Chains A and B, each alone.
Chain A
Amino acid sequence: MVKEFEKAGFPIVQMCNLIPVAKTVGSNRIVPTISIPYPLGDPGTPKEEQWKLRMNRTKIALDALATDIKEQTIFKVS
């Protein structure tokens, strides 16, 4: 799906946990998430922490869309 959206001209960032899959299928902008069932908030952590993580990764994703890249890029998350 990511490729079709990009083919249509949209910059697209894929937030996902399975980075090798995203790389293989050809996503160009990738932001890692923390797991498959809960990409953006570990239910084992306090709500406040989940919120911080989600805000942080979403910001990185938005920044990724505004970043010029020359090759497939996995954006750093702290």
Chain B
Amino acid sequence: MKKAILYINQFFGQIGGEDKADFAPVIREGKVGPAMEFAKNLQADITYTIICGDNFMGSNTDEAVKTILDGLEGKDFDLFLAGPAFQAGRYGVACGTICKAVKEKFNVPVLTSMNVENPGVEMFKSNMLIMEGANIASHMRKDVAAMVKVANKILSGEQVGPATEEGYFPTGRRKEVWLEDKTTAADRMINMLVAKLNGEPFVTELPIPKPDRVPIAPAIKDLKHAKIALVTTGGIVPVDNPDKIQSASATRWGRYDISHTMRLESGVYKTIHAGFDPAAANDDPNVITPVDALQELLKEGYYGSLHPYFYSTVGTGTTQAEAARMANEIVPYLKEDNVDGIIMVST
């Protein structure tokens, strides 16, 4: 039989309530509290129950995590469970914290459960499977049952399905799968279209996140004295790609001095973007980053000055979160040089 270990807080560990929230972690042999409920249908034996006070985990995180990881050293287990944590914020964050640490250290699958309002969801949903749980502990049976269902799939090596089907929070990863009924994308799309035309309900396979608008920045008042910066997601870099920007799913960006560059020459600059045919841009990088036009317009006095660097990354497969981070890393350089406006060329 496979083995599982469960993490719970001081309350469910039957140590006590808030007054015992400073309880330092202990690893108990066997099943305590919710472990009994898990044991009913879990296809693994819960060999140990870890109990830790929520405040102890919150205030002495490093010590708590270390104590637990040290205690797990040498113990044999196939799955690590935590919670369910319901809407208990500290408990949810504790479950996420310890699951993440255990997963990283022992490379064992982890599973927890929280309510959508639990801050632990936003913090950890991309790191692990978090089942969407109820808000209060009276739903313990239901939440445990949901966890057990997915846990048993993990234990048996069965494919865990998509988030909506299995009831966990989307982790932000897309997975290609063959559908059991073998309906092709073309058929599914036509079915959706027909449903739409008939005014029938259908479910999109690619939900577009709700637009999150930003206020329009005020226009440049005097272009003749404005400083302009050039940014691109088209992957134009010096030919040796000094910052090792990835050709897809980029997490890195670079900035390159163009203060004395009248145009980006082929053979000196190229594109490393993997999302389009690079021939045209390699032959003339200015078709993506119009340095030649910007230098000419500067000479003509069309605008005031050109920020001495252009900024580049690759915009294919790049997550919105990474893109936002990279932009925010670039912002201080633009602020420092009192840039007035930005031209972004996307491919």
Instruction: List residues of chain A with CB under 8 Å of any chain B CB.
Output: 1-18, 22, 24-26, 28-29, 33, 36-43, 50-51, 54-55, 57-59, 61-63, 65-71
Contacts and interface: CB of A to CB of B under 8 A. Distances in A.
In this complex, which of B287, B324, B347 has the most chain A Cβ atoms within 10 angstroms of its Cβ? B287
A15 B281 contact: no
Interface of B: 208, 211-223, 226, 228, 231, 233-234, 275-281, 283-284, 286-288, 290, 292-294, 296-297, 302-303, 313, 315, 320, 323-324, 326-328, 330-331, 334-335, 339-347
Given A9-B217, A65-B219, A16 B345 contact: yes
Contact of B344 (A15, A18, A41, A70): A15
B346 A68 contact: no
Q: Which of B233, B290, B297, B313 has the most CB of A within 10 A?
A: B290
6 contacts: A24-B211, A37-B276, A38-B281, A58-B290, A65-B220, A65-B341
Given A4-B324, A5-B344, 12 more contacts: A4-B331, A5-B231, A5-B330, A5-B342, A10-B334, A13-B343, A16-B346, A26-B212, A36-B276, A37-B277, A40-B288, A58-B294
Contacts of A55: 293, 296-297
B233 A1 contact: yes
Contacts of B231: 1, 5
Contacts of B313: 1
Contacts of A11: 217-220, 340-342
A31 to B, nearest CB: 9
A15 B343 contact: yes
A41 B286 contact: yes
A51 B294 CA distance: 11
Contacts of A66: 219-223, 226, 341
A68 B216 CA distance: 9
A18 B315 CA distance: 13
B315 to A, nearest CB: 8
A64 B213 CA distance: 19
Given A6-B214, A63-B223, A12 B284 contact: no
B71 to A, nearest CB: 43
A26 B346 contact: no
A65 B297 contact: no
Q: Which of B212, B221, B284, B328 has the most CB of A within 10 A?
A: B284
Given A1-B231, A4-B324, A38 B280 contact: yes
A43 B284 contact: yes
A16 to B, nearest CB: 4
A38 B280 CA distance: 6
A39 B345 contact: yes
B228 A69 contact: no
B207 to A, nearest CB: 12
A8 B327 CA distance: 10
A54 B287 contact: yes
A68 B211 contact: no
B281 A37 contact: yes
B214 A17 contact: no
A12 B231 CA distance: 10
A13 B266 CA distance: 26
B329 to A, nearest CB: 10
